[in-house]
Amino acid sequence: MRYAPHDYQTYAIDYIETHPIATVFLDMGLGKTSITLTAINDLLFDSFEVHKVLVVTPLRVARDTWTAEVDKWDHLQNLICSVAVGTEPQRRAAFMRKADIYIINRENIQWLVEEIGIAFDFDMIVIDELSSFKNHSTKRFKAMLKVRPRVNRIVGLTGTPASNGLMDLWAEFRILDMGQRLGRFITKYRTDYFQPDKRNGQIIYSYKPLPYAEDAIYRQISDITISMKATDHLQMPELVSSEYVVQLSDDEADDYEKLKR
């Protein structure tokens, strides 16, 4: 299929290509996978700025979505992908194959960094669903942070960057820019932008943002971040509502009432 990107997609593609650190917050349906693959394709075969790309993503997306997008679009047919999911021998074999893009599920990033025993020589990383790295105490976060200095380019993709609040952003950007914008330590980030909320004596259970926190945080990350909402870019047809009367049996009516409750 011929790829004819919308203006916002062209902008996002160019943004990834011109920003070694690119944070792309796109709502579902805006085509962040095809956008990123197009940018990767250009960086690999037009500007020759990257040679080997690692995509870290949820398992089902790793298995199905990225390769399906490559197969779908005409301009991506030269891309060779190797999907490293399944058993350890299957994952190891995937990394032994010659490819442009290697795709692994996020649960196995620690295995790739610490256990596989091959050189980590990727010069670009794409983290699909960056929000899954919002917890700085997880093994996946620590493994990614360990190899981040070896990588020249990194892209973070998600539609929900701060699903639980602004506190989520620190770990995500700690990986992306290694602490340049929101600080290297979570304690300083809390001190700068938050105040204790629920507590019991000296024990603090939660924090709430200071009045200026949201604007200040967004200013700090604005030079490497774009954010797009589906309502601003997707042109949907007018809603048509149709009503159909159905007759339910007694059993079906009971099931319906249970579901309704």
CATH number at residue 150: 3.40.50.10810
Instruction: Say if CB 194 and CB 165 are below 8 A apart.
Output: no
Work out the angle between the directed axes of helices 139-147 and 169-177 (0-180°, nearest 10). Answer: 20
* β-bridge partners, 188: none
pLDDT of residue 196: 86
Structural domain span for residue 165 = 7-260
Q: What is the pLDDT of residues 141-173, one digit of tens each?
A: 999 999 999 999 999 999 887 777 899 999 999
pLDDT of residue 236: 67
Question: Is position 243 within any domain?
Answer: yes
Question: Would you say residue 205 has pLDDT above 90?
Answer: no
- The reported pLDDT for the residue numbered 230 is 77
**What is the DSSP annotation of the chain?**
------HHHHHHHHHHHH-SEEEEEE-TTS-HHHHHHHHHHHHHHTS---S-EEEEE-HHIIIIIHHHHHHH-GGGTT--EEEE-SSHHHHHHHHHS--SEEEEEGGGHHHHHHTS-S----SEEEEESGGGG--TTSHHHHHHHHHGGG-SEEEEEES-TTTT-GGGHHHHHHHHHTTTTT-S-HHHHHHHHEEE-SEETTEE--EEE-TTHHHHHHHHHGGGEEEE-HHHH--PPPP----------HHHHHHHHHHH-
Residues 6+ apart with CB under 8 A from 183: 170, 189, 192
> Residue 223 pLDDT > 90, yes or no?
yes
Mean pLDDT of 182-207: 88
Residue 197: pLDDT band (50, 70, 90) is confident
Task: Please check the confidence at residue 131 and state whether its pLDDT lies above 70.
Answer: yes
Higher pLDDT, residue 117 or 226: 226
Within-domain flag for 2: no
Q: Is residue 193 part of a domain?
A: yes
**pLDDT reading at 201 higher than 90:** no
pTM, full prediction? 0.85
Residue 251 belongs to some domain of the structure: yes
Contact 27, 8 (CB under 8 A): no
Which band of pLDDT confidence, cut at 50, 70 and 90, is reported for residue 82? very high
Look at residue 88 in the predicted model and tell me its pLDDT.
94
Res. 107 pLDDT band, cuts 50 70 90: very high
Closest residue by Cα to residue 218 from 7, 15, 25: 25
pLDDT class of 202 with cuts at 50, 70, 90: confident
Is residue 1 assigned to a domain? no
The pLDDT tens digits of the residues spanning 59-76 come to: 999 999 999 999 999 999
pLDDT score of 229: 84
Number of domains in the chain: 1
Whole-number average pLDDT of the chain: 93
What is the model's pLDDT at position 81? Answer: 97
> Would you state the pLDDT for residue 38?
97
Instruction: Answer whether residue 56 is part of any domain.
Output: yes
Least confident of 25-39, 125-139, 178-192, 201-215: 201-215
Q: Say if 118 falls within a structural domain.
A: yes
Mean pLDDT of 36-52: 96
